Structure 1
Amino acid sequence: MLKQEGQAFVMFSTAHVVAIVGLGLMIVLLVVFKNKWTIQPRKMKRYERLFAVSLLGMDLAYYIWLFQSERWSLGNSLPLELCSISLVLTIVLLWTGNKHVYDFVFYAGIGGALQAIATPVLDISFPHFRYFHFFYTHAGIVLVALYFTWVKGYSPTFKGILKTMLALNVLLPIVFLINVLFDGNYMFLRSKPVNGSLLDFLGPYPWYIVSLEVVAFFIFVCLWLVFREKRSGVTY
């Protein structure tokens, strides 16, 4: 059994609430200043890539910590969680501006990261590095998706929902097979999180996986309805 390295994380503790409030304030600032970005496109691209490097660096540091603390294993340390995949694509989006990558980051990224921030699967709290890694990367996914929508003018589409659902359903059997091979539980395809999550309201195993598909589609549609009229945006 691994030795606890720091204070145990408690859901809705002060450290948790501060992280949620911090993300809320960042979103408010993004809303307030979304029409006041006057930096030259070339310089803006430099900042976007700098943030991409910071996300990548934070995640690489996390994997180094996993190795050093002897926590790394094939069963729980591969980047196969929904938010891990979204983080990789967020970095790609910041670097390339690809509109198809934007679809996944906007729908699956926002939906997954907000749920993760609300009910974190996290064992170590502030001021441990893992606490900062968890909330920095998850908040980064949400903020990048909103930045590309509000500032860059990308527009979520219903077609994007269908593409995201298709991508997720292509990923699911692959991740499930890896879970079986390495005794993992990536994307919670074999059991629910022990500390509680949205999945607790979606029925027993394996039916909560089917229920989650319906919930995901509903959340994606809600995101589309909320954001599709906000800007004229880029259509594709």
Structure 2
Amino acid sequence: MNLLWDQEVPYIPLFGFHYFLYITAMLLLLLLMIRRRKFVRRKSETVRKWLLLIAVAQQILLYSWYIFETGFDISDALPLHISRISSLLGIVFLLTKKHSTMDLLFYFGLYAYGSFFYPSRVYPAYHALGMSFFINHALTILLPIFAALAYDWRPSFIGLIKSYGWFLLYFVFVYFLNPLIDGNYFYLKHRPFFGHWPDNLYVPVVLIFTFAIFLIGYGTARFLDRQVSHGIKRSSRRLK
């Protein structure tokens, strides 16, 4: 078995070595971006180009694996997992710098936090898809911070409402598509939680939960932004 490539490589266990490796690496990148925020703002265009290059390389790695390893099995290879949509939104944002695109990426990307803390069907870090998983989800988490530092983007409540509308359209689409192609998009077939629940209970809970995490993400981001702004103002007054 080729441990770097084969589809049969076992998924990582919860609380195993690779589980903590992914989380630690993500936290180190997050800390690095925050500690180097002045550099990120000053060299935003250089950082943007490097992030775009990494994002495109991740897409090439991901879909090369699906083409050569699975023959591009549409039950799992289409760009319809929410993490893959987020990665494409990241590329669009890095190309256009549009705040409306970042709004959607920020809210959809909140699921990336859950993917790190409760990974579902994730390969080890040395596997091609494990590397793709980490790059994809790390960029999804880091890009809103980059947008805030480099382009003064901030999450908005109207962006939350619009993003939830898009999520509803996405959810309905994959819900009816999955049975047609034996798909697992949005993990509706292999559920990470409550796999025994009937759809008439599971679906409303998912929709309510998603709106709740959108609200929590919005509130947390605005709270942290206010705390940072107050800290900057206090530092300025001390300097005077």
TM-score, reference length from structure 1: 0.83
Corresponding position of 2:76: 76
| TM-fit CA distance, 1:4 | 5.1
CA–CA separation in structure 2 for the residues paired with 1:223 and 1:38: 23
CA–CA separation in structure 2 for the residues paired with 1:79 and 1:204: 26
| TM-fit CA distance, 1:8 | 4.1
Q: Please tell me whether the aligned partners of residues 40 and 146 of structure 2 are also in contact (alpha carbons under 8 angstroms).
A: no
Gap regions ≥5 residues in structure 1:
none
CA–CA separation in structure 2 for the residues paired with 1:183 and 1:5: 19
Q: Please tell me whether the aligned partners of residues 40 and 149 of structure 2 are also in contact (alpha carbons under 8 angstroms).
A: no
Q: Please tell me whether the aligned partners of residues 124 and 131 of structure 1 are also in contact (alpha carbons under 8 angstroms).
A: yes
Gap regions ≥5 residues in structure 2:
1-5, 227-240
Corresponding position of 2:105: 105
CA–CA separation in structure 1 for the residues paired with 2:126 and 2:225: 39
Corresponding position of 1:216: 210
Q: Please tell me whether the aligned partners of residues 58 and 132 of structure 2 are also in contact (alpha carbons under 8 angstroms).
A: yes
| TM-fit CA distance, 1:35 | 3.9
User: Which structure has the larger Rg?
Assistant: 2
- Between Structure 1 and Structure 2, the one with more helix by share is 2
CA–CA separation in structure 1 for the residues paired with 2:215 and 2:195: 20
How do 1:14-93 residues align onto structure 2 when only pairs under 5 Å count? 14-37=17-40, 39-40=42-43, 44-70=44-70, 72-93=72-93
Corresponding position of 1:227: 221
Q: Deviations over 1:161-216 (max 9, x none)?
A: 10110001112222223223212121133x343xxx3x339954342221111111
Q: Deviations over 1:11-30 (max 9, x none)?
A: 22111101101111221222
Q: For the aligned residues, what is the CA RMSD?
A: 2.4
Equivalent residue letter for 1:217: F
Sequence identity of aligned pairs in percent? 22
Q: Please tell me whether the aligned partners of residues 155 and 221 of structure 2 are also in contact (alpha carbons under 8 angstroms).
A: yes
How do 1:90-169 residues align onto structure 2 when only pairs under 5 Å count? 90-109=90-109, 111-169=110-168
Change (3 A) 1:38 1:48: closer
| TM-fit CA distance, 1:226 | 1.6
Change (3 A) 1:169 1:38: closer
Q: Please tell me whether the aligned partners of residues 76 and 186 of structure 1 are also in contact (alpha carbons under 8 angstroms).
A: yes
Q: Deviations over 1:72-119 (max 9, x none)?
A: 21111101011111110011111111111111111111x111111222
Tell me the number of residue pairs that the alignment of Structure 1 and Structure 2 aligns. 222
